[in-house]
Amino acid sequence: MNGSLSYKIREEIEKKELDFLSPYAAKSALSRGRAKEEMRCPIRTDFQRDKDRIIHSKAFRRLKHKTQVFFSPTNDHYRTRMTHTLEVSQIARTIARALDLNEDLAEAVSLGHDLGHTPFGHSGEEVLNEIMPEGFRHSEHSVRVVTTIENLNLTQETIDGIKNHSGSLKIESPAFTLEGKIVKLSDKIAYINHDIDDAIRAGIIKESDLPEDCTSYFSLDRSERITKMLVDIIENSKGKDRISMSEETFFYLDKLRTWMFSNVYTNHIAKHEENKVYGIIRALFEFYERELESHVKDGSEESLKRTVCDYIAGMTDRYAIQKYKEIFIPQSIQNSHSDEFLFTLAEINGLVLN
């Protein structure tokens, strides 16, 4: 295949988007661009390229060993942060396709939305939020991962969707594309439904515990619940410049989500190891802060804390546990892992090392 024909492939895809997607869809040919200009791919659109860069990133690979709800599960059937991400992507793509929006952009945002999540899920996030003077939010850190730590040079549309994927269900995503707004809803639909599965599997709740009016409206079957939610969003958003659902569906979705927070996410059985998580994250942070201080010749306290935060936030559950054991529990030296990336992050954050 010669070069001119390759370029024709991308241009044909871009033309199809312009001709057939909704007038409210994001078009890759009209993208707001990247922070650093670069040569266009001969085959893929810019949003397809974003998706591929995220999949090939180190942060994406680490999601398979990061907690969704249950800490370091040994049962392979519990969701991890990666399987959650894939389920969000599937839901977002389904909605985008049905609404004639840009499926590639919806997928790119979905795949990147949790790249900045900490080890041990939201428990790890809460600890870093307490430690960092400016706080810590995984959505903002996901942006930091793709713009600074791994420097994927994604399009503004993808970065904006990642940044604005979290927050209250009652507040519309401020993302400037409908695809970004879809991901916020898809994230919540995914975790509410798959966390019900995992909580039942863990014996924390039974099907009969779920609010009867919610299951009567949506169904006890996960597939039927998700389908009803998606059909409602599609019917209420088709041909419109916003993503919305009916008042009735929103009421029961919000009620089910509130019930999950009260009965699963803060359940003492699900969170009985949470105090240990606080201890591990705090101990690691204090250790690496002292360790880095001993190597820094010049740099601000803010940059030092940011470096340690970047390092710990990027850890998987098992790596954080392994480092805690190496540092605080005597063991054979051959089991140690290098902290070289800590010093790479220090240089990224402008610290001058000895």
What percentage of residues in the chain have a pLDDT greater than 70? 94
Residue 199 has pLDDT above 60, yes or no: yes
List pLDDT tens digits, range 235-274. 999 999 999 999 999 999 999 999 999 998 877 765 667 7
Domain boundaries defined on the chain: 48-265, 274-353
Nearest to 81 by CA among 63, 99, 94, 62: 63
| Position 1 confidence tier, pLDDT thresholds 50, 70, 90 | very low
Residue 187 has pLDDT above 50, yes or no: yes
Residue 127 has pLDDT above 50, yes or no: yes
| Position 178 confidence tier, pLDDT thresholds 50, 70, 90 | very high
Identify the CATH number of the domain defined by range 48-265: 1.10.3210.10
Question: What pLDDT score does 169 carry?
Answer: 87
pTM comes to 0.93
